[in-house]
Amino acid sequence: MTLGQWLPNRARWLIIPSTLGNGLGALLAAQYVAATFTFPQGALGTFWILVAVIGTAGVGVAEALSARHLRTFRGLCAGSLPTSDENRLRALDEVRQFPEHIGRLGVRSWLGAVVALALSFWLVADAPASLVVRIVVMGALFGPMAAVVVGLLVGQRAHEAVERLAEGMSPEDIVSSLRVPRVSVRSRLVLFTLVMVALPSLVVIDVTRALGADTVETWLSAPEEGREAAVAAAQRLVVLKTGLLIAFATAMATLAAALGGSLVTGPLQRIADDASSLASGRLVRAQLIAGDGEVWLISNVFSRLEERLVSMVGRLASATRRLAKAASSLRRASEDSESGAADQAAALNQTSATTEELAQSARQIASSAGSVQELSRKTLEAADSGLASAEAFRAAIERMRQDNRSIAAAVDRLTGRVQQIGRIVDVINTVADRSDLLALSAELEGTRAGEVGRGFSLVASEMRRLAENVLESTAEVEELITEIRTATRQTSDATERARALTESSTALADEVARALTSVAQSARQTSDAVRTISLATQQQQTGTDQLAEAMADILGITQQSLATTRQLTAANERLQRLSSVLAEVVSRFQRQDA
């Protein structure tokens, strides 16, 4: 049932116990007075009329006054005011204070009405003063009882109304906006006991006194023989009346006690139920539990506690979920990290090994660089020596070329001479040949001339012999010339070849010198470069050694890191387990409204 559905006619519903209770109380009180008191003749009717008039008026006035106190609540019930939080809070405050208010109002109304009745009865019926006093006393006795009972009855309903109005609102907000009730349970219990124990006792005393007086009167008024019977009858009546009163009082007290008890225990029971729910892990939305005095305080505290607990559990559940999630991701990250750290450690191991190799290589390079430097130094020396040799060679070649040139010139001159000789020899040959032919012809002529020409033939023959000798000599000379020519040609060829050779040798020597210069330069550069390399390698070696050391350090740190990561992973696992446990714990608080 929503508030809107519940509200209509609830103002009347709240007030009606007051009207009925006070009305009934007035009737009972009047009846008591009528029963226990001997009214003058005809006064009893007046009494009742007055009771009816004044009682009705008192009830009406009380109703009107109480209605004034519930202005906002009535507006809400009538629908003339919107059910805003502000209005509800105001109405809630009105309703909460209503039982106390109506109690006080009831007492005042009762006193007013009793005084009015007594005065009016005294004035109208000319009642004896004792009766007036008695009426006042009875009103004073019955009024508080009725007020207490009405207060308890209204209190019951007010609690329901308060809870209805508080529905859906934060107890915290409600409590913080309401004043702390002044009346404590203890004072109420004291008042209650006073009213419910003292007043009946007074009544009983009064009744007893009145009945005792009746008995005495009966004893005196009755005839002698019938005294005992009359007294016995009177005694029975007293017992009856007293019993009725005691029963009434007991009933009232019991009712009041029951009501009062339920007013106190009802909220406590609900708090206990809610606490039990909480204890069993069922979270209900915090609901204000109406109560009085310390119970109200307890209920407030409990509601706030419950609300905070619900909110806390909600936050805790959310936090737990986040924690579980975080722990899960942390575990994954930590696993990744562990894996990464392991990989890193492996890579670092490898890198460290590589760095060590690098350092080794650097040392080898340094060593090799030293060898190369030595080699390049030797190369340089060899190249310098080679250059000197090449220079010497070139000089020798140059001398050889000059010699060759001289030889060639000599051969040319020789060739010229030989040609001259050849020409001379040709001339001699020609002459000798002609001489030979001439001598032959002469010999033939001499022969043909017979004996006469014999001497001529002999001379011719001698001439021929001379010519032939000349020819033979010239042939030898020609052979010599041929040999000389061959030799000179060979010499010429040789010198030509030597010239070409010296040319090519010179070129070669130049080339060799250039090459050696280049080699020397290269060797020098190599030497310089090797020195640079050597220095750089030494430097690098230092750096590499440092690097190797640093790598070893890093490796150690990484291994530590790996160990730490493993520990972290283990811690994460524990954390996740804890998070699971926490989640399980939080899950016990099942939100009933969610």
The contact set with other proteins (CB under 8 A) reads 433, 436-437, 440-441, 443-444, 447-448, 457, 461, 464
Cα separation, 362 vs 97, in Å, equals: 98
Contact between 163 and 152 under an 8 Å Cβ cutoff? The reply is: no
Amino acid at 329: S
Reduce the secondary structure of 358-407 to three states and give it as a string: HHHHHHHHHHHHHHHHHHHHHHHHHHHHHHHHHHHHHHHHHHHHHHHHHH
User: With respect to other proteins, which residue has the nearer C-beta, 63 or 443?
Assistant: 443
Contact 110, 29 (CB under 8 A): no
Nearest residue (CB) to other proteins, 181 versus 453: 453
Shortest distance, CB of residue 416 to other proteins, whole angstroms?
28
Burial per residue of 212-223, b for 16 or more beta-carbon CB atoms within 10 angstroms, e otherwise? eebbeebeeebe
d(CA 460, CA 306): 179
Identity of the residue, 102 or 442, whose beta carbon is nearer to other proteins in the bound complex: 442
Q: Which is nearer to other proteins, 437 or 500 (CB)?
A: 437
Is the CB of 461 or the CB of 590 nearer to other proteins?
461
Residue whose tokens read 């009717």:
45
CB of 465 to other proteins, least distance (A): 9
Residues with Cβ within 8 Å of residue 576, at least 6 apart in sequence = 324, 327, 328, 330, 331
Structure tokens at 87: 């209005």
Q: What does 307-366 look like in DSSP terms, one character per residue?
A: HHHHHHHHHHHHHHHHHHHHHHHHHHHHHHHHHHHHHHHHHHHHHHHHHHHHHHHHHHHH
Q: Please report how close the Cβ of residue 397 comes to other proteins at its closest, in angstroms.
A: 47
Q: Judged by CB, which is closer to other proteins: 297, or 475?
A: 475
- Say whether 10 sits in a helix, a strand or coil: helix
Side chain identity at residue 569, one-letter code: T
Nearer to other proteins, 454 or 588 (CB): 454
Could you tell me the smallest distance in angstroms from the CB atom of residue 448 to other proteins?
5
Quote the least distance from Cβ 473 to other proteins, whole Å: 16
Tell me the closest approach of the beta carbon of residue 459 to other proteins, in angstroms: 13
Q: Least distance to other proteins from the beta carbon of 477, Å?
A: 18
The C-alpha atoms of residue 196 and residue 260 are separated, in whole angstroms, by 11
Tell me how far, at minimum, the Cβ of 421 lies from other proteins, in Å. Answer: 22
Contact between 146 and 24 under an 8 Å Cβ cutoff? The reply is yes
**Choice between 270 and 464, CB closer to other proteins:** 464
d(CA 77, CA 96): 16
